Amino acid sequence: MKKSFFYIVTILLITTSNHIKPTLVNDRIEFLDVLRGIAIQCIFIANIVTFSGIFAFAPSFRNPTMVWASDEVTDFITFALVDGKFYSIFSLLFGIGCVMQYQKLKKTNKAFALFFTRRMFWLLVFGLAHLVGLWLGDILTLYALLGFLLVFFINVSDKKLLWLSGILIFMPLLNGLIIHFLKLDYPNFFFQKSLELWTYFGYPVSEFNGKPFIDMQFYLANENWSDFFKMNISNALVRVGFLLEDGRVFKVLGVFLLGLWTGRNILNNGLLSNIKFLKKVAILGLSIGLPLSVVRTYFMFFGDGSDLIGFINTLLYALSTVPLALGYGALLAMWYHKNPAVLNWIAPAGKMAFTNYIMQTMISIVIFYQLGFGFAGQFGFTVIFLLATAIFLLQVLYSTLWLKYFRFGPLEWIWRQLTYNKIISIKKETKS
């Protein structure tokens, strides 16, 4: 399986034939916005499960009219097809965006390192505000911290990027061995510090995997904003612990590096117009990633929770997630190449992915937390999935209307101004 995975990634390093014309810039960017929009929606499908509090409350707490017979099947299918795959696509897009910014600045002889470091600094500020202020599932902070490292890889050769990417993507296996079998549970330091802070504020403790843990039911049922922010400080440490425990730090950086190569070949070798290449990636990615993801989901749902099962899950996750993500991306690229109009309506949501990502958090807090309507724990998986889809469709509509009059999304505009350290007009120029 490991050789098969490396074969998929190796395909991404094959220089395309000389007769293939580079993809037109407008078409290429439009597809990347489409892919980013799809990724942000599927990330929300994964995230809304945590927001909903479905695991924090007993089944008896839920409203029978909101719990359907299809819930178990919906849970299994969405976990197998979605979990981890679309933040992997988003990570790939992050690396692609880095290369595009580098190439643009290189043409104008401007310093990339200074620009990108400043860009990551402000992303880190946004990420920390989101993590500590709103939600423990934040990904922006990790992206920013790892983004600082991309400056050192921007000129690394394609071959080295491949090997480094493969090594990093499989690093969670070594990480798991160190934690579970060598008993060097270094992420537990952050869990303990979180628990100490939680109890210092006087909040109740529950149990998770046989160990004392913060009480998520209490967190979701809280009605006090001051307590909400205090609990989020503790939750931020939980997030650090989980990121270290599952080795996501290594995997995300590995996919970033894969994105660097992909970006180069999108710009220079017309990768997105090479249907033969995309077909190979789609077939290999889906044929390897999909069955392994289903097997992993089975172990996750029906395993006994032992260290051995945990290691098997980590192994299957490493073998399945990135190949399946690449397969999805290639399949969507072929579909877009054949009929772009079918997918272009999603592009506005992708152009405002930053705004929509933060908006998804705020909408979820309003719907599920007791600070808002307090529906936490009352919906089954089917209703949660439909709700996430409905919210995203509204975001597509909002993004489309917004971009009709403005050049950037609200948060994209603020981030851009901070990065360039100057006032940038947000309104589109009206034609006279």
Contact present, 176 and 306 (Cβ < 8 Å): no
CB environment 334-364: b (16+ within 10 A), e (fewer) = ebbbeeeeebeebbbbbbbbbbbbbbbbebb
pLDDT of residue 430: 67
Average pLDDT, the chain: 90
pLDDT in tens, 204-257: 998 877 788 899 999 999 999 999 999 999 999 999 999 999 999 999 999 999
DSSP assignment of 351-409: HTHHHHHHHHHHHHHHHHSTTTT--TT---HHHHHHHHHHHHHHHHHHHHHHHHHBSS-
The pLDDT-based confidence of 431 (bands split at 50, 70, 90) is: low
Q: What is the mean pLDDT of residues 57-81?
A: 90
For 380-429, how does the pLDDT look when each residue is reduced to its tens digit (9 = 90+)?
999 999 999 999 999 999 999 999 999 999 999 999 999 999 999 999 87
CA distance 247 to 168: 9
101 Cβ partners below 8 Å, 6+ apart? Answer: 112, 115, 116, 119
Residue 426 within any structural domain of the chain: no
> Does 42 fall in a domain?
yes
Contact 303, 313 (CB under 8 A): yes
In a domain, 109, yes or no: yes
How many Cα neighbours within 13 Å face the side chain of 242?
13
Write out pLDDT tens, residues 116-130. 999 999 999 999 999
- Token representation of residue 387: 């709700």
Query: For the chain, what's the residue count?
Result: 432
The predicted model gives 39-65 an average pLDDT of 91
Residue 124: inside a domain: yes
261 belongs to a structural domain? yes
pLDDT per residue as tens digits for the range 100-111: 999 999 888 888
What single-letter DSSP state applies at residue 27? H
Q: What is the pLDDT of residue 10?
A: 45
Is the residue at 264 inside a domain? Answer: yes
User: Could you tell me what percent of the chain has a pLDDT over 70?
Assistant: 93
Cβ distance 263 to 97 under 8 Å?
yes
CA 404 remoteness from chain centre: 27
Domain holding 122, by residue range, is 2-420
Residue 107 lies in a domain: yes
> What's the confidence (pLDDT) of residue 308?
82
Instruction: Count the domains in the chain.
Output: 1
Report the interhelical angle of 2-11 vs 158-176 (nearest 10°). 150
Above 50 in pLDDT, residue 12? no
Is residue 196 situated within a structural domain? yes
